[in-house]
Amino acid sequence: MLTFLLAFVLKHMQIAKENRYKIIVYYIGLQDVQMHIDRVASRVQQGGHWIAEEDIRYRYGHSLQNLKPALAIADQVIIIDNTYKPLIIAEITQDKLIYRIDSIPAWCKPVLVKYE
């Protein structure tokens, strides 16, 4: 989630592409922000690091917003829903939809709307 939170990452992706690097993105999402909050809480109980709830909420929305421009920059994007078990939702190559499951999770619909 943090990868696409920061706009400079998109800028660096573009610079890398201009320098002939191949850009491959794996984006892993969950059905809603509350699942992220719950998983962080679980991780903390197991000794992992803590993230403030307001930061998780902020990152969730901004990460999805920044995924849209990343689709146009990246050579290949694999979008995975990890709500229950990892499931590939879509694959976009050179900004063209190559694969998409029939039942797109609600969190991913705004991202893929241009490919319908």
Chain center to CA of 35: 15
* Model confidence, pTM: 0.85
pLDDT at 85: 94
pLDDT tens for the chain, residues 1 to 116: 445 556 788 999 999 999 999 999 999 999 999 988 998 888 888 888 888 899 888 888 888 888 999 999 999 999 999 999 999 999 999 999 999 999 999 999 999 999 88
Q: Look at residue 63 in the predicted model and tell me its pLDDT.
A: 87
Q: Residue 1: its pLDDT value, please?
A: 44
Instruction: Give the 3-state secondary structure percentages of the chain, helix then strand then coil, rounded to 5.
Output: 50, 20, 30
Give Rg (Cα) of the chain: 15
Rounded Cα distance between 107 and 116, Å, is 15
Cα–Cα distance between 102 and 104 in angstroms, integer? 6
Q: Can you spell out the DSSP letters for 12-37?
A: HHHHHHHTT---EEEEEE-SSHHHHH
d(CA 103, CA 81) in angstroms, rounded, equals: 11
